[in-house]
């Protein structure tokens, strides 16, 4: 028999083996059950190729297609594949590729360096396709497609770009651009290289228009090469197309409005009074929206940016102007409401010699409210303003006067002035200005200001500032006898609930409307009177520090059952009656009758160049 002095040691060996196996199983449990490597593994092996959702289309109120999509192609490059090819001694023919793409070798190297620079291209991964050249046209794509197999590592990614049926509405419609790093951080939906609305309707309705991008899960190997689809596409997501949007715009009116603004700096806003729907919103200088799409964008963007006439500024929503005489209508309404005047109040006017504000028109004296509006009598409204604010005297520390000023301000604000609307879908709105009493306190001292100090407010000059869209909306309030629906661009019923009442009772509107009708019938606007149409309006001529006065008109038509409220501002043109008024009348005619009969007037206004610096893009 064998000597078996060490038989016990077999047990020790058994234990050692078991302990190590248990240790290993414990480690496996840690790796496979406790720690989660699924995400890391998927990041490794999955290339989630986006399938871009078609962006929603944009229609005008009559169903005419304004904005649609056109296919475009991005050339992508996977760095790892290029590197592997170079290592294997079979690099691609860079010069041939440069030739196909129409770039120099230096440009090619610069682009490669840019892609690899994580500070500029912060999402860089050598395994993931990176954008080498964006927005190739279908023709370039077709040409490149034939040669692409010679350049492994380069692939094509399909995209869509915006295209426009009408060369108008650039400011309103807005455009799309590549998302910024901040946008990606704020909204996890976006991936590097996605397009999103950057202004206008495209931005306001970004969530609706963009839909939801789908993704195709592709398997890529450790060298970045695509090896097929994961589970035959079982887990791929199809894109969800973006929602189409029908806007409130009337594209025919928009076109006419933009044509009429050619060669001038100014804007036109037309609103359907009962609904607050914006029928047209034009601002000049402007550009053909197709110019900021695709590869033209990089060409035209700097040009537009550097244009001294600031085409990127949407003057309809963001231009601040003194409303001038157009403000007298609101002044009248508020002062009637507050009892400062009555419809039968008359004030005397001494024409150009009147103090402290002279009258620029010739008419009889004393004047009634209707006549004052018709003749745009400055002294009448100064006295109206003064009477209203001082009706309780000044009181201790001017407090009674200030209280009345505050009430006046509140009532003016109720016409939608002074603040940008928070319930509107219009992009780029500005506040405008109706000063607080506290602001005047700061400027003049607590007792340092009286109605005389702020007399310019009475005739819509001085500290009163409005935007053209606010002015059009104020016209809508008068047309509606005391309310407005916040102006908006999406023809969706839910926006009709944003109704706001002005602080002026129904009964006070008739006299002001009568005055505004007389303006168009017998007053400053009588020259461009449309046959068989009762238009209510008011011209304005506002002095400013930049040259000739701004020419302004606001109003609505028809007088009964109004269909369109409009505001026109032409910068540094001259009298309101000479420029803004005819332009407004042409727009009203176009909208109400869908044609323009005064062809000579139309051509004259269209071809009138008031500012030679304004270019047409």
Partner 1 sequence: MSRNFNVVQAIDKWAVFFYIVLVVFGWINIYGASVSEDQTSIFDMHYRSGMQFMWMGLSFGMALVILFTDSRLITAVPYLLYGLIVLLLIVTVFVAKDIKGSRSWLALGPFSIQPAEFSKFITALALAKLMSHPQFRLKSIQSYAIVCSMILLPMVIIVAQSETGSALVFLSFVFMLYREGLPGLIPALGFCAVVLFVVVIRFGGVALLGFEGSSTGLFIGLLISYIIALVFLRVYQSDRKHLMVLSVVPIGVFAVLLPLYKWVVRFNLVYVMMALCGGAIIYLLVLAFLKWRRTYLFIGLFLLGGFVYCFSAGYIFNSVLQPHQQKRIYVLLGMADDPTGIGYNTAQARIAIGSGGFWGKGFLQGTQTKLKYVPEQDTDFIFCTIGEEWGFVGSAMVLLVYLFFLYRLLFIAERQDNRLARIYGYCVVGIFAFHLFINVGMVIGLVPVIGIPLPFFSYGGSSFLSFTILLFLFLKLDTMRIERVRN
List residues binding partner 1 (CB under 8 A): 1-2, 5-7, 9-10, 12-14, 17-18, 20-21, 23-25, 27-29, 31-33, 35-38, 40-42, 44-46, 219-223, 227, 230
Q: What angle do CA 59, 62, 68 make, to 5 degrees?
A: 20
Q: Which CB, 14 or 120, lies closer to partner 1? A: 14
CB hemisphere CA count around 88 (13 angstroms): 10
In contact, 247 and 208? CB cutoff 8 Å: no
DSSP 44-82: HHEEEEEEPPPPPPEE-TTS-EEEEEEEEEEEEE-HHHH
Q: Which CB, 223 or 548, lies closer to partner 1? A: 223
| Nearest CA among 378, 374, 377, 376 for reference residue 522 | 374
Q: Which CB, 30 or 62, lies closer to partner 1? A: 30
Looking at the chain, the number of H-run helices and the number of E-run strands are 22, 17
- Residue 499: how many other CB atoms lie within 10 Å: 13
Cis? peptide before 356, omega within 30° of 0: yes
Q: Which CB, 81 or 202, lies closer to partner 1? A: 81
Burial class (CB in 10 A: 0-12, 13-18, 19+), 451: buried
Q: How far is the CB of 489 from partner 1 (least distance, A)?
A: 48
Q: Which CB, 13 or 609, lies closer to partner 1? A: 13
**Spatial separation of the C-alpha atoms in residues 541 and 296, rounded to whole Å:** 40
Q: Which CB, 44 or 104, lies closer to partner 1? A: 44
**Spatial separation of the C-alpha atoms in residues 557 and 196, rounded to whole Å:** 39
Q: How far is the CB of 155 from partner 1 (least distance, A)?
A: 18
Q: Which CB, 223 or 361, lies closer to partner 1? A: 223
- Strand 245-246 with 58-59, pairing: parallel
In contact, 253 and 591? CB cutoff 8 Å: yes
Q: Which CB, 118 or 594, lies closer to partner 1? A: 118
Q: How far is the CB of 129 from partner 1 (least distance, A)?
A: 16
Q: Which CB, 155 or 360, lies closer to partner 1? A: 155
> What's the sign of the alpha-carbon dihedral 565, 570, 576, 577?
negative
| Helix, strand, coil in percent for the chain, rounding step 5 | 40, 20, 40
| DSSP state at residue 148 | G
What do you get for the CA distance between the two ends of the chain, in Å?
A: 109
Q: How far is the CB of 32 from partner 1 (least distance, A)?
A: 4
| Nearest CA among 527, 519, 514 for reference residue 583 | 527
Q: How far is the CB of 203 from partner 1 (least distance, A)?
A: 39
Q: Which CB, 36 or 299, lies closer to partner 1? A: 36
Q: Which CB, 230 or 321, lies closer to partner 1? A: 230
Q: How far is the CB of 121 from partner 1 (least distance, A)?
A: 20
Dig out the tokens for 345 from the structure: 């109040």
In contact, 464 and 329? CB cutoff 8 Å: no
Q: How far is the CB of 128 from partner 1 (least distance, A)?
A: 14
Q: How far is the CB of 43 from partner 1 (least distance, A)?
A: 9
| Nearest CA among 250, 272, 249, 267 for reference residue 479 | 272
Q: How far is the CB of 92 from partner 1 (least distance, A)?
A: 22
In contact, 105 and 192? CB cutoff 8 Å: no
Q: Which CB, 1 or 609, lies closer to partner 1? A: 1
Q: Which CB, 146 or 232, lies closer to partner 1? A: 232
- Residue 601: how many other CB atoms lie within 10 Å: 17
Dig out the tokens for 225 from the structure: 């090469």
Q: How far is the CB of 1 from partner 1 (least distance, A)?
A: 7
Q: How far is the CB of 141 from partner 1 (least distance, A)?
A: 29
In the 3-class helix/strand/coil scheme, how is 235-301 assigned residue by residue?
CCECCECCCCEEECCCHHHHHHHHHHCCCCCEEEEEEECCCCEEEEEEEECCCCHHHHCHHHHHHHH
């Amino acid at each position: 028999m064998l000597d078996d002095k060490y038989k016990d040691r077999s047990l020790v060996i058994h234990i050692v083996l078991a302990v190590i196996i248990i240790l290993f199983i414990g480690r496996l449990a840690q790796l496979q059950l406790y720690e989660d490597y699924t995400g890391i593994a998927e990041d490794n092996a999955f290339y989630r190729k986006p399938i871009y959702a078609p962006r929603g289309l944009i229609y005008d109120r009559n169903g005419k297609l304004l904005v649609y999509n056109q296919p475009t192609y991005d050339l992508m490059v996977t760095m790892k594949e290029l590197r592997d090819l170079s290592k294997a001694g079979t690099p691609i023919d860079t010069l041939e590729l440069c030739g196909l793409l129409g770039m120099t070798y230096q440009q090619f190297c610069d682009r490669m360096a840019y892609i690899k620079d994580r500070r500029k291209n912060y999402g860089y991964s050598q395994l993931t396709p990176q954008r080498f050249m964006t927005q190739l046209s279908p023709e370039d794509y077709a040409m490149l497609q034939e040669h692409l197999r010679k350049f492994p590592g380069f692939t094509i990614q399909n995209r869509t770009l915006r295209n426009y049926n009408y060369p108008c509405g650039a400011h309103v419609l807005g455009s799309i651009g590549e998302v910024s790093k901040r946008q990606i951080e704020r909204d996890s939906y976006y991936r590097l290289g996605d397009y999103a609305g950057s202004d206008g309707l495209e931005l306001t309705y970004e969530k609706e228009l963009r839909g939801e991008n789908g993704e195709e899960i592709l398997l890529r190997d450790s060298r970045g090469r695509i090896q097929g689809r994961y589970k035959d596409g079982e887990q791929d997501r199809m894109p969800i197309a973006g929602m189409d949007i029908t806007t409130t715009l009337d594209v025919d009116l928009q076109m006419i409005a933009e044509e009429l603004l050619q060669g001038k700096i100014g804007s036109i806003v037309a609103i359907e009074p009962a609904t607050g729907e914006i029928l047209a919103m034009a601002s000049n200088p402007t550009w053909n929206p197709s110019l900021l799409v695709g590869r033209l964008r990089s060409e035209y963007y700097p040009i537009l940016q550097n244009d001294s006439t600031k085409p990127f500024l949407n003057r309809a929503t963001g231009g601040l102007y003194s409303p001038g005489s157009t403000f007298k209508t609101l002044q009248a309404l508020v002062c009637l409401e507050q009892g400062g005047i009555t419809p039968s109040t008359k004030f005397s006017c001494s024409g150009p010699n009147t103090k402290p504000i002279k009258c620029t028109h010739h008419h009889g004296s004393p004047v009634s409210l209707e006549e004052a509006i018709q003749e745009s009598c400055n002294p009448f409204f100064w006295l109206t303003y003064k009477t209203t604010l001082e009706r309780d005297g000044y009181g201790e520390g001017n407090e009674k006067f200030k209280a009345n000023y505050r009430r006046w301000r509140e009532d003016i604000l109720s016409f939608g002035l002074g603040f940008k609307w928070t319930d509107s879908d219009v992009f780029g709105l500005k506040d405008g200005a109706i000063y607080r009493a506290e602001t005047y306190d700061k400027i003049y001292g607590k007792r340092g200001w009286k109605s005389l100090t702020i007399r310019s407010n009475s005739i819509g000059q001085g500290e009163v500032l409005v935007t053209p869209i606010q002015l059009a909306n104020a016209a809508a309030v008068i047309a509606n006898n005391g309310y407005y629906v916040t102006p908006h661009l999406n023809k969706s019923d839910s926006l009709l609930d944003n109704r706001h009442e002005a602080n002026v009772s129904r009964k006070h509107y008739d006299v002001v409307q009568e005055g505004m009708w007389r303006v168009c019938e017998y007053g400053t606007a009588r020259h461009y009177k449309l046959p068989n149409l009762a238009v209510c309006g008011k011209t304005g001529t506002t002095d400013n520090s930049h040259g000739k006065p701004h020419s302004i008109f606001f109003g609505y038509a028809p007088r009964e059952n109004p269909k369109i409220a409009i505001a026109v501002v032409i910068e540094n043109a001259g009298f309101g009656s000479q420029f803004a008024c005819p332009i407004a009348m042409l727009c009203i005619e176009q909208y109400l009758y869908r044609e323009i009969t005064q062809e000579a007037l139309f051509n004259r206004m269209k071809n009138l160049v008031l500012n030679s610096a304004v270019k047409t893009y």
